[in-house]
Amino acid sequence: MRPSGRDPAALRPVSLQPGFARHAEGSCLIRMGVTEVLCTASVEGRVPPFLRGQGQGWVTAEYGMLPRATHTRGDREAARGKQSGRTQEIQRLIGRSLRAVTDMKAMGEMTVTIDCDVLTADGGTRCASITGAWVALHLAFEHCRRMNIMTRNPLKDQVAAVSCGVFQQVPVLDLDYAEDSKADADANFVLTGAGGIVEVQGTAEGAPFSDAELMALLGLARAGTAELFAKQREAAGL
Amino acid sequence: MRPSGRDPAALRPVSLQPGFARHAEGSCLIRMGVTEVLCTASVEGRVPPFLRGQGQGWVTAEYGMLPRATHTRGDREAARGKQSGRTQEIQRLIGRSLRAVTDMKAMGEMTVTIDCDVLTADGGTRCASITGAWVALHLAFEHCRRMNIMTRNPLKDQVAAVSCGVFQQVPVLDLDYAEDSKADADANFVLTGAGGIVEVQGTAEGAPFSDAELMALLGLARAGTAELFAKQREAAGL
Amino acid sequence: MRPSGRDPAALRPVSLQPGFARHAEGSCLIRMGVTEVLCTASVEGRVPPFLRGQGQGWVTAEYGMLPRATHTRGDREAARGKQSGRTQEIQRLIGRSLRAVTDMKAMGEMTVTIDCDVLTADGGTRCASITGAWVALHLAFEHCRRMNIMTRNPLKDQVAAVSCGVFQQVPVLDLDYAEDSKADADANFVLTGAGGIVEVQGTAEGAPFSDAELMALLGLARAGTAELFAKQREAAGL
Amino acid sequence: MRPSGRDPAALRPVSLQPGFARHAEGSCLIRMGVTEVLCTASVEGRVPPFLRGQGQGWVTAEYGMLPRATHTRGDREAARGKQSGRTQEIQRLIGRSLRAVTDMKAMGEMTVTIDCDVLTADGGTRCASITGAWVALHLAFEHCRRMNIMTRNPLKDQVAAVSCGVFQQVPVLDLDYAEDSKADADANFVLTGAGGIVEVQGTAEGAPFSDAELMALLGLARAGTAELFAKQREAAGL
Amino acid sequence: MRPSGRDPAALRPVSLQPGFARHAEGSCLIRMGVTEVLCTASVEGRVPPFLRGQGQGWVTAEYGMLPRATHTRGDREAARGKQSGRTQEIQRLIGRSLRAVTDMKAMGEMTVTIDCDVLTADGGTRCASITGAWVALHLAFEHCRRMNIMTRNPLKDQVAAVSCGVFQQVPVLDLDYAEDSKADADANFVLTGAGGIVEVQGTAEGAPFSDAELMALLGLARAGTAELFAKQREAAGL
Amino acid sequence: MRPSGRDPAALRPVSLQPGFARHAEGSCLIRMGVTEVLCTASVEGRVPPFLRGQGQGWVTAEYGMLPRATHTRGDREAARGKQSGRTQEIQRLIGRSLRAVTDMKAMGEMTVTIDCDVLTADGGTRCASITGAWVALHLAFEHCRRMNIMTRNPLKDQVAAVSCGVFQQVPVLDLDYAEDSKADADANFVLTGAGGIVEVQGTAEGAPFSDAELMALLGLARAGTAELFAKQREAAGL
């Protein structure tokens, strides 16, 4: 039995609220249960040094958590003077996931920086960030199209992510914090609308897991992201 | 004429939403026009080294701005590896303002850390932070009282802040960004419910200002904070 | 009764020694009682990136304290790897104060960096820094004029600062450390030769203060800076 | 055809040289083709603060690359003042992988720190680090047993890692740099001697990959690690 | 011919002014020509962790240069966030030199921190720092003796330093900046009152130098430090 | 009697293995007894800003120690976020020593960065670094000559280094860790093939030393480096 009483294959209630941030070219506030992440997309008319003069764009991401997004207050990374390894790992994952569905040649020499800031954390913040970030990115590209900065939206597909895990021997979808902290294994899947795998990150917390378990988790993730893709299209006005 | 069309003595629409953050002992989302700051209060059962063993508590504050709270994206301070001078100045101000109305002897050896994170910025973020922080702090102290950690709420008075300025020769209340960036002078006033001055910080941006102008701004601030005190009491359930 | 035996409206003995630093384009060693600050002005033929190509100059300031300027040794900020919030707050204040009386268009694309280094601290170091820095800046501009780098001295007025406070219920001028550490309120005033207010920073250390007290402190400051302006003119050879 | 001419299911020549480092309690120099990583295990009689008094041990890892381990010189992280996100991600992975096969209760309150320093890089350094680190850790535990610090070796199983990828549409084992930089997808698998999955990290570099491809890569990894387990036992004298 | 017109074996005019810093337990302002260094000694009743409980004391040093001590302004190390390699090298040298003549057993568990801050630089600042620091340290120990914290002064001998160099083929004593920047070789000698060598640091700037040249420089240094020892005794009241 | 049983004038067994690093333009693994340092030379087609446009090259060095090169594990400098004073002092010394024998005009606008990474430490790592670095630098220059980037090898002479010390009153050559930690004095000599002194750094650890002792150590060093020069020529294929 899951602590939340959810069915093993059930997502938490999901909402994606586009345009939450007033100033950003694109933004989305995503809620998955109690987890709440504000995703903004900022467009800038230049690329990092390693891409200059190549006629292509870049998409990158930064991730942060408000100090009291969690049950007990965490250090403010700005005050401590550096980002944790976990933060860096997550923001690298978000950036790779979005670049996997973006035609960077079609962007021109522009950079879109996605900021994912966790207002409230209850497990699954990196996955929620990716799912919400796609909406913010889509809206920013649409903004560029309306401004005639781009002739078409460079997104080739949707991308969304969900975490699954083995909890008390049962594969379950969309771990919340109560499950995540006790799961035997958990895996984050980043999948495309067309059904391809962009990233899979599975970790045994207790005993190692088997090939069959990995496949079962992937199956749950595929069902879960199908729902998320629908929510994304709705939020993006597609 | 003010860019917003407001009367010289008019505040922007103000709302204080208590309990916005799920996990914090106290929290308040304050909106002053477009400016939006999430204030949380986190209680911890120990004091900084310089106060140990003295039987008193401590209240401190940290301040941050989401990178895309502003019109154009700013650097993430955590990524840059240090907090700006402006950030440090503001968080020191918030901390001092709250300590001025707290009976730290009545707290026992506890620390409350206030986090003020700007979700959207349109001028006046430091003042909104102080006003919202007081509500978060009050709620956290009430929480401690209900938990029997404290026998009474250690707050001695309310504290709120507002910025005023001389805009096109006219003293005006509650500057927004469009005014702030063009004001001849601006001053932040931190005042108590009983009418005392806790902090005044006035700066001439263009020509120096006169004693009379300083007094005029103080008068506007006193009227403005009267409204804010009412909003605080309402949000705090007083 | 003041610990120093001074009259409430009396400054400490003040001296401004121009040319103390051998290599700087302008310099001044200011002593206010035991407080001693070495101010130097360094001229450089370029401006920060945000001002390039605008045909105007820039004046900025840095502040530091020798580790044993104080009663007990403080950390060396260079060894600790960062400047404290207090240091950054002070150097921002010094820079703003000097820019308020400088015609930056008249400078051409040049930067003057003022360094204020406290050799001995006994209260009032930020105010002494501003007062001494004006002399260093004036001398550096005169140097530029003699070198035909500038056709006229870009200073529009004098600027000086003094701290006042409410000590044992009495408003007093020019707090030393013994008073500062026990004052009910203290306020730093940065005033111009023409009588305008450039900055006012008042803080209640104990009970909040009233409008009347603020005005009384401002009155003392005006009298005190009148003396300082005379000392500045003498040191600057005016 | 692979650039190295290897069969799709062939590992590079592998050697594990135990005892390379003179001073460490356990060490192993692993070579996989040109890739060369020095793994050392250092034993210390205390645990990190979050584990104190719980009667269990800890295994952690740090990772580094000599500046000229690569084709062109990279920055020295010590000189730059921080570890890259990639470095932190890798050292977190190594630590998790080793802890998955260690009975930390059986260690007592001790910490083993594994250092993996890449002397020469030609792809697959994180996987080689894990494989070599297991040998170093085993030897360090044996050392502790001989010193009567531990009564039995706390390792529950072997752990080894290998990267696989889809190169020119063909799933191949043990990517070298020439393949890694052009692969459509690559995945790192951390597997136990008993056949369980400890970690899987798959990333689409070009087009997303399919479930079947993921399974094919996992199959290759299982065959590859079987060889590595034999090499580990030999190096560990088992 | 030396730029200063000095005889090859002549020191610059030297003065040591004891007690320059009001708050320090011991202090000395040393001038060697234009070079000017403020040395303070701060006493603290504890030792660094590696010495705790061993019943001995510690002497350590920090070094800094005001940004405009030099002909052109240098970066403020506190603002840049780290001390340069040169600074660290110098402060390590000063600390070693002073410890070489201190009976640390006789100190008890106390630390004396010497701060050497260069107000004006014209070559030879590290040597001047050592010479002045000895006076500050002596005075601080005398202070401890008067306070009955120590029963005798733990200094076993005097220590002083001077730089020598080969300038236009001629060995010369006490290089100033004009010579230092053009010398073929320069060497810093730290010598004791009894004639022993504590440190020698010789560097060929142009062509390598010979054994005979090294000995000639050492001879000059011995004569030069004889004068410095006399000045130290005078400043220390011996 | 030396702990190693060596004759006072005997070096430890020395080997210099050229070409150890696969990717570097030049490299050498030097072993002096148990001490083992990997030296690589990396060529880059540009110079630091302060040399641009002057038609000359630059040689610089960085130094590091693997965390478990030593008897007990040391902090990883990359993890701690800064290089120690000792590290900076050593890498400055290596750079100066190599530049002393390089005709930087003959290099053209190129930089060679020497990395000296200590794999195992048993005393004398800075001296071994210099001796090994010369071979790496020579090989890198030869590489440039073969690539027709340079017309001749810009090295003017050999340079090598050895530490000597006074151990139990006897001057001895090439201190190992057991001696170094107990020596009364130790001195590092950097000498050229032609017999000149490039650097001498002598430090009294216990009692100060005499002129005669300094000369005796220099004599030992001259004999020791003669052997090292022969080994260098052999490794460099000269």
The CA distance from E45 to C157, in Å, is 50
- Which one of F184, F198, F210, F229 makes the best mutation probe of the E interface by having the most chain E beta carbons within 10 Å? F198
Contact D200 A187 (CB under 8 A): yes
pLDDT digits (tens, 9 = 90+) for C147-205: 999 999 999 999 999 999 999 999 999 999 999 999 999 999 999 999 999 999 999 98
Contact A204 D85 (CB under 8 A): no
ipTM higher than 0.90?
Answer: yes
Confidence of residue F27 (pLDDT cuts 50, 70, 90): very high
- Residues from chain E that touch C62, judged by Cβ atoms under 8 A, are 67, 76, 79
**What type of residue is F33?**
G
For C229, the token pair is 């302006």
Name the 3-class secondary structure at F221. Answer: helix
Biggest CA–CA distance in chain C, Å, is: 56
pLDDT digits (tens, 9 = 90+) for B56-111: 999 999 999 999 999 999 999 999 999 999 999 999 999 999 999 999 999 999 99
Residue A190 CA: distances (Å) to CA of A127, A219, C72 = 8, 12, 57
> What pLDDT score does A234 carry?
98
> What pLDDT score does C141 carry?
98
pLDDT digits (tens, 9 = 90+) for F70-111: 999 999 999 999 999 999 999 999 999 999 999 999 999 999
Q: How far is CA D74 from the centre of its chain?
A: 22
Contact E91 F100 (CB under 8 A): no
- What mean pLDDT is reported for chain B? 96
Confidence of residue D205 (pLDDT cuts 50, 70, 90): confident
Please give the average per-residue pLDDT across B195-214, as a whole number. Answer: 93
> What pLDDT score does B206 carry?
80
> What pLDDT score does F17 carry?
98
Give start and end residues of each alpha helix (H) in chain A.
Answer: 77-80, 85-99, 125-146, 177-180, 211-236
Residue given tokens 């207050």 in the structure block: A73
- Which one of F23, F36, F129, F176 makes the best mutation probe of the D interface by having the most chain D beta carbons within 10 Å? F23
Kindly report the backbone phi and psi dihedral angles of residue C127, in degrees, each rounded to the nearest multiple of 5, phi listed first. Answer: -70, -45
From chain F, which residues contact D within 8 Å (Cβ)? Answer: 21-24, 27, 34, 38, 40, 42, 44, 62, 64, 66-73, 76-79, 81-83, 87, 113, 115, 117, 119-120, 122
pLDDT at A206 over 90: no
C-alpha distance from A50 to closest chain B C-alpha (Å): 19
**Are B154 and B99 a contacting pair, CB within 8 Å?**
no
**Are B62 and B119 a contacting pair, CB within 8 Å?**
no
pLDDT digits (tens, 9 = 90+) for E13-38: 999 999 999 999 999 999 999 999 99
Ligand-binding site membership of B125 (annotated): yes
Confidence of residue C229 (pLDDT cuts 50, 70, 90): very high
Task: Name the β-bridge partners of A149.
Answer: none
Sequence-separated (6 or more) residues with CB below 8 Å from residue A219 = none
- The beta-carbon neighbor of B204 closest among C196, C204, C214 is C196
As a whole-number percent, the residues of chain A with pLDDT over 70 amount to 100
pLDDT digits (tens, 9 = 90+) for C83-112: 999 999 999 999 999 999 999 999 999 999
Sheet of C26-32: strand order equals: C14-18, C26-32, C35-44, C111-120, C58-65
Kindly report the backbone phi and psi dihedral angles of residue B204, in degrees, each rounded to the nearest multiple of 5, phi listed first. Answer: -85, 120
F159-167/F185-192 β-pairing: antiparallel
Confidence of residue F207 (pLDDT cuts 50, 70, 90): confident
For residue F146, how many other CB atoms are within 10 A of its CB? Answer: 9
Closest chain F residue to the Cα of D117, Cα to Cα = F66
pLDDT at F1 over 90: no
B185-192/B197-204 β-pairing: antiparallel
> What pLDDT score does B1 carry?
84
Closest chain A residue to the Cα of B117, Cα to Cα = A66
- Which one of E20, E63, E68 makes the best mutation probe of the C interface by having the most chain C beta carbons within 10 Å? E68
For residue A60, how many other CB atoms are within 10 A of its CB? Answer: 17
Please give the average per-residue pLDDT across F216-234, as a whole number. Answer: 98
> What pLDDT score does D91 carry?
97
DSSP chain B: --TT---TTPPPPEEEEET-SSSSSEEEEEEETTEEEEEEEEEES---GGGTTSS--EEEEEEEE-GGGSSSPPPPHHHHTS--HHHHHHHHHHHHHHHTTB-GGGG-S-EEEEEEEEEE-SS-HHHHHHHHHHHHHHHHHHHHHHTTS-SS--B-S-EEEEEEEEETTEEEES--HHHHTT-SEEEEEEEETTS-EEEEEEEESSS-B-HHHHHHHHHHHHHHHHHHHHHHHHHHT-
- What mean pLDDT is reported for chain D? 96
Give the residue among D68, E215, A41 at the shortest CA–CA distance from F117.
D68
**What is the distance in angstroms between the CA of the first residue and the CA of the last residue of chain C?**
37
Residue D83 CA: distances (Å) to CA of D58, D132, F81 = 22, 22, 8
- What mean pLDDT is reported for chain A? 96
The single-letter DSSP state of residue A107 is: G
As a whole-number percent, the residues of chain F with pLDDT over 70 amount to 100
- Which one of F76, F77, F139, F143 makes the best mutation probe of the D interface by having the most chain D beta carbons within 10 Å? F76
pLDDT at A158 over 90: yes
Contact A78 B78 (CB under 8 A): yes
Ligand-binding site membership of B126 (annotated): yes
Contact D214 A197 (CB under 8 A): yes
> What pLDDT score does C207 carry?
86
Q: How far is CA A75 from the centre of its chain?
A: 23
Name chain B's partners: 3 or more CB pairs within 8 A: A, C
Looking at chain A, the number of H-run helices and the number of E-run strands are 5, 9
Confidence of residue E207 (pLDDT cuts 50, 70, 90): confident
> What pLDDT score does D207 carry?
86
> What pLDDT score does F231 carry?
98
C-alpha distance from C203 to closest chain B C-alpha (Å): 5
Confidence of residue E206 (pLDDT cuts 50, 70, 90): confident
Name chain A's partners: 3 or more CB pairs within 8 A: B, D
- The beta-carbon neighbor of E120 closest among C21, C67, C83 is C21
Give start and end residues of each alpha helix (H) in D81-190.
Answer: 85-99, 125-146, 177-180
The CA distance from B91 to B60, in Å, is 8
Please give the average per-residue pLDDT across E214-224, as a whole number. Answer: 97
pLDDT digits (tens, 9 = 90+) for D114-159: 999 999 999 999 999 999 999 999 999 999 999 999 999 999 999 9
From chain D, which residues contact F within 8 Å (Cβ)? Answer: 21-24, 27, 34, 38, 40, 42, 44, 62, 64, 66-73, 76-79, 81-83, 87, 113, 115, 117, 119-120, 122
> What pLDDT score does B63 carry?
98
> What pLDDT score does D206 carry?
80
D58-65/C35-44 β-pairing: unpaired
Cβ contacts below 8 Å, chain C against chain E, sum to 96
Contact A214 D203 (CB under 8 A): no
Contact E22 C34 (CB under 8 A): yes
Contact F78 D77 (CB under 8 A): yes
> What pLDDT score does B170 carry?
95
> What pLDDT score does C140 carry?
98
- Residues from chain F that touch E192, judged by Cβ atoms under 8 A, are 208
Please give the average per-residue pLDDT across B171-197, as a whole number. Answer: 95
Confidence of residue C222 (pLDDT cuts 50, 70, 90): very high
Contact E22 C40 (CB under 8 A): no
pLDDT at E205 over 90: no
The CA distance from B193 to B101, in Å, is 10
**Are B89 and C92 a contacting pair, CB within 8 Å?**
yes
pLDDT digits (tens, 9 = 90+) for A83-96: 999 999 999 999 99
Contact F79 D62 (CB under 8 A): yes
Please give the average per-residue pLDDT across E72-91, as a whole number. Answer: 94
Residue given tokens 């997550």 in the structure block: A90
